[in-house]
Amino acid sequence: MKKSYLVLHFAVLLAGFTGVFGKLISLNEGLLVWYRVFFSSIVLFFILKLFKISTNIKLQKKLDIAKIGMFITIHWVFFYASIKYSNISIGVVCYCLTSFFTAIFAPLINRSKFSLSELGLSLITLFGISLIFHFDASYQLGIILGVISSAFAALYTIYNEKLVRNFDSRIINYYQMIGGTVGLGILLPFYLYFFPVPTILPSLKDVYYLIVLASFCTVGLYVLFAESLKHISPFTVNLSFNLEPVYAIILAFLFFNESKELNMSFYIGLCFVILSVLLQTIISFRKK
């Protein structure tokens, strides 16, 4: 169990870098995510070949895995839109609402009882986000986009938990990235019609960032994420990912000087978010 928590928190550390790449890469959110899933599927293809992992599963199973990949793909589109319409700090803090949506969606999808402790901890997170929402009206669109992204992240985690019991996490990730590449690829022409861009091709610098993002912060991150779900509940995993803003905000302060854009209301809200993570960690260890 302790090893699973170490794996989980290393994944959270990698997740802290994803928001930074959203700021570094010049492509809009739709193109950024399409290239991310495309490069990730290529990286995973070679990993599966290198380790001689068979991808020979039934077509229906492949399609089921690929469909769940659309949840994470849509989550990323809204996540990076949140960052581009506000900043890194806002985007990653809104991701913390994933645990709130998990506490609501999981019992409905799995037909299980609602957990009062999970709902209570999620309300602490929600209160923290509400404080941040009111600190600057210019960031409210970014916050709304971030809230939508966290809802899709919750759905992805809940459905992904069922997959990791039956399949290798690398195979899951591979077909999910293919699903995201094909699914978003079909939607992209319509997306670009409403959100036109000067060019759809990434610059050389963007290609470098995309390869790093795909290799470490996508493939590496989500393989670790899937492994942790084998021993830790989806709610605890999502709540632990609430620590992502801590790492991401430190990086945003260091590289983009975002501390000048934030006020005391933001920091108070962030404290409530961190408090919910600490309380859930304590509760989880006491249960074990």
pLDDT of residue 184: 98
pLDDT of residue 285: 66
Nearest alpha carbon to residue 13 among 172, 216, 198, 200: 216
Residue 136 CA to residue 181 CA, distance in Å, equals: 35
Q: Which domain holds residue 252?
A: 2-287
pLDDT of residue 261: 67
pLDDT of residue 92: 85
pTM of the model: 0.86
* Number of domains the chain is built from: 1
Question: Residue-wise pLDDT tens for the chain (288 aa)?
Answer: 667 788 888 888 888 889 899 999 999 999 999 999 999 999 999 999 998 888 889 999 999 999 999 999 999 999 999 999 988 888 888 887 888 898 899 999 988 888 888 888 888 888 887 887 766 677 889 989 999 999 999 999 999 988 888 888 889 999 999 999 999 999 999 999 999 999 999 999 999 999 999 999 988 887 887 778 778 877 777 667 767 777 888 888 888 887 776 778 878 888 887 788 778 767 766 665
